[in-house]
Chains A and B, each alone.
Chain A
Amino acid sequence: MSSITIRNLNKYYGALHVLRSLDLSIASGEGVVLLGANGCGKSTLMKCLNGLETPQSGSIVIDQNDVTTAKGLRLRSIRRDIGVVFQQFNLVENLTVFQNVLYGAMGQRRGGLLTVWNSLAPKDTREKAMHCLSRVRMADKASSRCRDLSGGQQQRVAIARMLMQSPKIILADEPVASLDPKAGIEVMDLLWEVVREHNMTVFCTLHQLDLAQNYADRIVGMKAGQIVFDSSNSSADKESLAQLYQGDTRVDGASSHENEYAAPNNRPAEIA
């Protein structure tokens, strides 16, 4: 039902060829972890999947809908079924936890903001938000401001917001990379629990091998804009996985050591 099929995908940023004829299929209900060195194009692929970036050629079909050609309302209706978890949580920090969770339903209704603003939202919406918060064990913080929470707590709230959306597919781009190891494992456990509960399809990028092997059904490896490794978790061998981090891993040709921490996470982006 909620499958992803990517065919011959090419994405350029100016002259920089980031995604290079990339092919990948993900079946409904599958938990896929994408591994790859910094700068190999993982985030770019994620952004293409929900239409935040437009590739120059190729197709991405999600549940019989082509994302790459969808615009306006059709694109929004595809996005409605895709929940995203970000490395930087991306909560509106000035607002309360509860308000942020309500925002998860913003795309679901025609009234937009008016139907999810705390003072105006219908009773069942507010109840659902509270339920999602309880699911991530953050119900006691409903009235706190997001900026007062720790990173792990913020990521749990972001997962509650994502649940509020009732998506079929989850995209998670380095969901634990900004967290300390303990909070990271808590968040990964929680994420995988809720994903399994709702039978959702997950596509998650990580950069720790061991984390990948603890959670994935299937591990996919990316190097310099292409999928170079694809196997079920149980049969993934360490040697080929280690290959992902050696040689020309980046798409921009820079040496991967110099640019390890220069990943463009904070580049201002337009609202699509």
Chain B
Amino acid sequence: MNTKQEPQSSHMPPRLTSPSWFAWLVIVVFAFLFFQGFSSAEISLERLVKGARNLSTFLGQAIPPDWSNMDVIANAMLETLYMAIVGVTVGIVLSVPFALLASRNTAPHPIVRTITRFMIATMRTIPDLIWALIFVVAVGLGPLAGILAIILDTIGFAARFFSERIEEVRPGPANALTASGAGRVSVIMGAILPETLASMSATSLYSVEKAIRSAVTLGLVGAGGIGVELSTAMRLFQFDKAFSIIIVVLLVVIGFEQLSSMIRKRVI
């Protein structure tokens, strides 16, 4: 049978359509960057072989992991958890006012909204490691720098999602309370926030997971927690010690993700 059957009235859409000139431009630029990047990584068989050899040396020295410093590792891991929990809690609490000021339907004035949105965007755009570097300079080495970095990172992430949700809330109920003579703050707290709670808890849980992962790495730049131990061990070529730290991190992060997905199922 002939597949190119003539349609009765109008044309059947072709199987393939040619992308627009803009799509072509994007494809060409992307391809250029990809191949350029690939060649700048200077991948050669020789390097791959050497890399594999180094990796097996690392593993050879890392196994068996050295558990003799378990108390130090446990303490550092605990510090990491504290950093994450304090940072993410403060961050989420602060995200609510930030989100309210940044949303079209709750901001007191368009200028306030623009400024708040800009602040949130800045907090989000600058990576947490860079915040940590800045805060290490500002408040010195240690967990405080990490906590501050996590706070900003959490606001940048959570306030944006909170705000998107707030702007989606149906205006009707809030209008109804406004029409009954209620004040603006009462209306926002009473009619708008309750409609966003489910989505806010989901975002908050995700922020916790994100904060724990980032608390681990923040130590690498000296902002407290287990990352400090890890980077020290690596720099001193104590790969067996480093390996035990990596295992602990892995277990804790997996444990937390498990816990958080359990909570999510309960709540949502």
Counting chain B CB atoms within 10 Å of each CB, which of A80, A92, A104, A113 scores highest?
Answer: A92
Complex contact A79–B180 (CB within 8 A)? yes
Contact of B105 among A88, A104, A113, A268 (CB under 8 A): A268
Q: Which residues of B contact A106 (CB under 8 A)?
A: 177, 180-182, 186-187, 190
Q: Which residues of B contact A158 (CB under 8 A)?
A: 176
Complex contact A90–B181 (CB within 8 A)? no
Q: Does A103 contact B (CB under 8 A)?
A: yes
Q: Does B174 contact A (CB under 8 A)?
A: yes
Q: Which residues of A contact B173 (CB under 8 A)?
A: 90-93
Contact of A90 among B172, B189, B197 (CB under 8 A): B172
Q: Which residues of A contact B177 (CB under 8 A)?
A: 103, 106-107
How many Å lie between the Cα of A86 and that of B171 in the bound state? 12
Complex contact B186–A92 (CB within 8 A)? no
Q: Does A272 contact B (CB under 8 A)?
A: yes
Complex contact B175–A107 (CB within 8 A)? no
How many Å lie between the Cα of A158 and that of B170 in the bound state? 16
B:176-206 near A, CB below 8 Å: 176-191, 194-195, 197-198
Complex contact B190–A76 (CB within 8 A)? no
Closest-by-CB residue of B relative to A112 is B186
Q: Which residues of B contact A80 (CB under 8 A)?
A: 180-181
Do A113 and B178 contact each other (CB < 8 Å), given the known contacts A86-B172, A92-B195, A93-B195?
no
Q: Report the minimal beta-carbon distance from A81 to chain B, rounded to whole angstroms.
A: 8
Q: Does A232 contact B (CB under 8 A)?
A: no
Q: Does A237 contact B (CB under 8 A)?
A: no
Complex contact A271–B176 (CB within 8 A)? no
Sorting the interface of chain B by its residue count into under 10, 10 to 19, 20 to 34 or 35 or more gives: 20 to 34
B:87-106 near A, CB below 8 Å: 104-106
Q: Does A84 contact B (CB under 8 A)?
A: yes
Q: Which residues of B contact A271 (CB under 8 A)?
A: 105-106, 171, 174-175, 178, 184, 187-188
Q: Report the minimal beta-carbon distance from A202 to chain B, rounded to whole angstroms.
A: 15
Complex contact A113–B194 (CB within 8 A)? no
Q: Which residues of B contact A94 (CB under 8 A)?
A: 194-195, 197-198
Q: Which residues of A contact B172 (CB under 8 A)?
A: 86, 88-90
Contact of A82 among B170, B179, B191 (CB under 8 A): B179
Q: Report the minimal beta-carbon distance from A158 to chain B, rounded to whole angstroms.
A: 8
Q: Secondary structure at chain A's binding surface: helix, strand, loop or mixed?
A: loop
How many Å lie between the Cα of A77 and that of B182 in the bound state? 9
Closest-by-CB residue of A relative to B180 is A107
How many Å lie between the Cα of A86 and that of B173 in the bound state? 10
Complex contact A268–B171 (CB within 8 A)? yes
How many Å lie between the Cα of A158 and that of B104 in the bound state? 26
Q: Which residues of A contact B181 (CB under 8 A)?
A: 76-80, 106-108, 165
Complex contact B195–A113 (CB within 8 A)? no
B:17-31 near A, CB below 8 Å: none
Complex contact A107–B182 (CB within 8 A)? yes
Do A269 and B175 contact each other (CB < 8 Å), given the known contacts A79-B181, A104-B180?
yes
How many Å lie between the Cα of A268 and that of B166 in the bound state? 12
How many Å lie between the Cα of A93 and that of B172 in the bound state? 11
Complex contact A52–B178 (CB within 8 A)? yes
How many Å lie between the Cα of A266 and that of B173 in the bound state? 12
Complex contact B189–A113 (CB within 8 A)? yes
Q: Which residues of B contact A77 (CB under 8 A)?
A: 181
Interface residues of A (CB under 8 A from B): 50, 52, 76-80, 82-84, 86, 88-95, 103-104, 106-108, 112-113, 116-117, 158, 161-162, 165, 266, 268-272
Known: A76-B183, A113-B185, A113-B186. 9 other contacts (CB 8 A): A78-B181, A80-B180, A82-B179, A92-B191, A92-B194, A103-B190, A106-B182, A162-B180, A271-B184
What are the 6 closest A-B residue pairs judged by CB atoms, nearest first?
A107-B181, A112-B186, A80-B181, A90-B172, A79-B181, A90-B176
- Can you give 29 contacting A-B residue pairs, CB < 8 Å? A52-B178, A79-B178, A79-B180, A80-B180, A83-B180, A84-B176, A90-B173, A90-B176, A91-B173, A91-B176, A93-B195, A94-B194, A94-B195, A103-B177, A103-B191, A104-B180, A106-B186, A107-B177, A107-B183, A112-B182, A113-B185, A113-B190, A116-B190, A161-B176, A165-B180, A268-B105, A268-B171, A271-B174, A271-B187
